[in-house]
Structure 1
Amino acid sequence: MKLEIDKRDLLSLIGKTQNIVEKRNTMPILINVLLEADQNTLKVFATDLEVSLTDQIKAQVHQPGKVAVSAKSLFEIAKELSEGPITLIKKENNWLEIKQGKYTSKIVGISADEYPIFPTYNSQAFIKIDAQVLKEMIDKTIFSVSNDETRYHLNGVFFELNPATGFKMVATDGHRMSLVTKGSEEMKVAATQGVIIPRKGLHEIKKLLEGMENSVEITIEGSQFVLKNASTILMIRLIEGKYPNYQQFIPQKLNQKALVNRDAFLMSLKRVSLLANQKSKAVLLNLSKGKMEISSNNPELGDAKEEIEVDYSGADIKIGFNARYITDILTSIDQDKVDFELNDHLSPSLMRPHNDASYTCVVMPMRI
């Protein structure tokens, strides 16, 4: 294998793989990417057996071939080289020689035959979704994904697509839940039962969508979620298991409703929670006519309280929450006003952008 490729093209190609390659040494081979040169194209393959990415870019291929090398080493060397063409040559011992001007280095590689079998797909039933809409949906749900490895079916976001309602994403960790729905032009695809996309896969989708203005194509085939954008293909192995019936977690009859200024609520929570218990992050909200007092108390650190104005005329309520759960929700909302609905200090509360039913967050109270 011998080829010439522009530095920027090589960095663009290898940069996308940096967070996919396995950094832990459970399978040392997974720190590598597979490079394949053929027909004036350089292809890259990267996988950790859960998330897989393949991409390609134009290159001047003098001799076709393939080799697997350390993704980190190749990226860091290319990053420090000068602008312009870089020559890559596979040596007989599977080492990869990197040359530019008077600079030469060789990095240890392995035979392409030893690289894991790369996943493929056959589906042609791709549907389009605006890149920023998909990114927004992930941003509005990923913080509610559970970290509890024993409840593996909650370690991802539940994703549904329906010709009638569009795209839906749901995440819950048992203490809070986020649900976002985005309409779409009529989708020529059958409704799915819903699939669970793992957290790492969602982070990779987000990185890929960063700053992208166009649409991307997605499909679900068997046990994997596939996303395509131009030459980039991301394949994510779905989490097996049955997702809970999230509809039953959404409280239906909430008697008390407050209209809160998002920024005032968020900044006050951040200030007051500085003196909350570092583990539970417990804060007490005291709602009364026209105002909300937010307070925290920690015998080891001290206490804090602040009052903000709210549009509220219901009965007085004192209710405790994990401040981080509320700040996560407020950070994900981009409207000025937030609807905050509740019944009492024991029942789940509901938060959503003012008069916007497409995004709903449910959060369980704490006993304080």
Structure 2
Amino acid sequence: MKATVERATLLKCLAHVQSVVERRNTIPILSNVLIEAKDGGLRLMATDLDMQVVETVAAHVDTPGATTVSAHTLFDIARKLPEGAQVELAVANEKMTVVAGRARFSLATLPRDDFPVIAETDLPSSFSLPAATLRQIIDKTRFAISTEETRYYLNGIFLHVAPGTPATLRAVATDGHRLAKIELPCPEGAEGMPDVIVPRKCIGEIRKLLDEVDGDVELSLSASKIRFKLGNAVLTSKLIDGTFPDYSRVIPAANDKLLRIDRKSLAEGVDRVAAIATSEKTRAVKLALGRDKITLSVTSPENGTAAEEVSAEYTSPEFEVGFNYRYLLDILDQIGTDIVDLHMADAAAPTLIREGDSSPALYVLMPMRV
């Protein structure tokens, strides 16, 4: 195998594929990237056995062939080569030679035949989404994905079609403390798709790829696998084998107290009073709701107290409620409007947070005792 590729092209491609590779591997071949040189370009592939990413790039191929080499090592080399360099990759005697200008590297390889591949079979359900829409779906929900491995079925985004007239595509994530949901018109071809839970790592990798893609993303899925085709990259991932809980039961429908407040003022106020919250036990911020204002306060046994008054629209009876300030700030970060609506019932009931009644996204936040 012998091929020449521009350094910027190689670096961009390696940045995508090497991030799938785990830093610590007990199986040596999983630390490697598969490089195939064919007429017209290079095809690079990496996998962790649960997820696989493949990307093709333009290159001048002198001798077709294939090998595998350490993904992180090759990425570090490409990163440190001078801009504009032409990189020659050549394989002989179980070694890959990387030459760029006066720099020369000789890297150990492993046989291409040992590299595990997730079969690229056709998947029964297929539809397309604009890249901007998929970015919105991910950004509005992924912060609420659980990291608790014992509740593995919450370690991803639940994607499903909700029946109705018309049907809608819903994405939901929750960790039991907060919930994020976004609902969009059902794309053509998605009707009849299975309900799936897309793993957290897959979500993170596809989000990185979306930063560099415009146009449409093609999604194909079965009950056990999902595939994204975007630009020159194809990402295939296994899905979480589990049942997502009935999230509709925790979305309040009868919260009768409406707090309407400037999103930036609330976020900045919460952030300021939380400056004294330095431990797990003091993450609660108390909201004391009064006529057209709220008072934010935090009490820390170690550091003292902090309070700030923020103007707001509120005409219901006065009461107090507490929230984990980090969870509240996470939700406020996703609000795209100047004004945010908090629909409340009492100090023990979940709070519904929206940009407005017509917003495709909504958030639910469980209260804390304060």
Q: TM-score normalized by structure 2? A: 0.95
Q: Which residue of 1 aligns with 2:264?
A: 263
* SS of alignment partner, residue 263 of structure 1: helix
- Which residue does 2:119 correspond to in 1? 119
> Using the alignment, how far apart are the partners of 1:226 and 1:117 within structure 2?
14
Q: Is 1:203 the equivalent of 2:211? A: no
Determine if contact 2:194/2:222 at 8 Å carries over to the other structure: no
Amino acid at match of 2:27: M
Structure 1 pair 195/80, CA: closer, same or farther in 2 (3 Å)?
Answer: same
Query: Residue 150 of structure 2 aligns to which amino acid in structure 1?
Result: T
Name the aligned partner's letter for residue 169 of structure 1: A
Query: What residue in structure 1 maps to residue 297 of structure 2?
Result: 295
Note if contact 1:162-1:192 (Cα within 8 Å) is conserved in structure 2.
no
* Matching residue of 2:167: 165
Counterpart AA for 1:66: A
Q: Please, what is the CA RMSD of the aligned residues?
A: 1.6
**8 Å contact 1:52–1:119 — kept in the other structure?**
no
Show the 5 A alignment for 1:240-319. 240-280=241-281, 281-319=283-321
* Equivalent position of 1:63 in the other structure: 63
2:346 corresponds to: 344
Using the alignment, how far apart are the partners of 1:211 and 1:33 within structure 2?
Answer: 21
Distance 1:167 1:312 in 2: 33
Deviation at 1:212, TM superposition (A): 2.8
TM-superposed CA distance for 1:48, in Å, is 1.0
User: Equivalent residue for 2:182?
Assistant: 180
Q: In the alignment, which residue of structure 2 is the partner of 1:34?
A: 34
Q: How far apart are 1:4 and its partner, in Å?
A: 1.3
Residue 153 of structure 1 aligns with which residue?
153
Q: Which residue type is aligned with residue 171 of structure 2?
A: M
Change (3 A) 1:224 1:106: same
Q: Unpaired runs of 5+ in structure 1?
A: none
Contact 2:213–2:231 under 8 Å retained in 1: no
Shift of 1:86: 1.4
| Cα shift at 1:332 | 0.6
SS of 2:18's equivalent in the other structure is coil
Shift of 1:253: 0.6
The one-letter amino acid of 2:286's match is L
Alignment partner of 2:265: what SS?
A: helix
Once the two structures are overlaid, the 10-residue window that deviates more, 16-25 or 298-307, is 16-25
SS of 1:108's equivalent? strand
Instruction: Tell me which residue corresponds to 1:46.
Output: 46
CA deviation after TM superposition for structure 1 residue 216, in Å? 1.0
By how many angstroms is 1:211 displaced?
Answer: 4.4
Moved more, 166-175 or 329-338: 166-175
State the alpha-carbon separation in 2 of the partners of residues 324 and 209 from structure 1.
26
Contact 2:287 2:296 in 1 (8 A): yes
Distance 1:141 1:92 in 2: 49
Question: Cα distance 1:53–1:310, how it changes in 2: closer, same or farther (>3 A)?
Answer: same
- SS of 1:117's partner is coil
DSSP 3-state at the match of 2:275: helix
CA distance in 1, matches of 2:345, 2:114: 60
Change (3 A) 1:236 1:305: same
Paired residues, number: 366
Deviates more, 1:321-330 or 1:278-287: 278-287
CA distance in 2, matches of 1:293, 1:68: 60
Q: Kindly state the Cα deviation for residue 351 of structure 1 after the two structures are TM-superposed.
A: 0.4
When normalised by structure 1's length, the TM-score is 0.95
Residue 18 (structure 2) aligns with:
18
Task: Find the counterpart in structure 1 of residue 326 from structure 2.
Answer: 324
**Deviations 1:94-130 (CA, angstroms, capped at 9, x unpaired):** x210112332210111111221233313137531111
- Equivalent AA in structure 2 for residue 364 of structure 1: M
Q: What secondary structure, in the 3-state scheme, does the structure 1 residue paired with 2:280 have?
A: coil
Amino acid in structure 2 at the alignment position of 1:365:
P
CA distance, structure 2, for counterparts of residue 124 and residue 193 of structure 1: 10
Q: How far apart, in 2, do the equivalents of 1:214 and 1:227 lie?
A: 13
Q: Which of 334, 348, 353 is the equivalent residue of 2:355?
A: 353
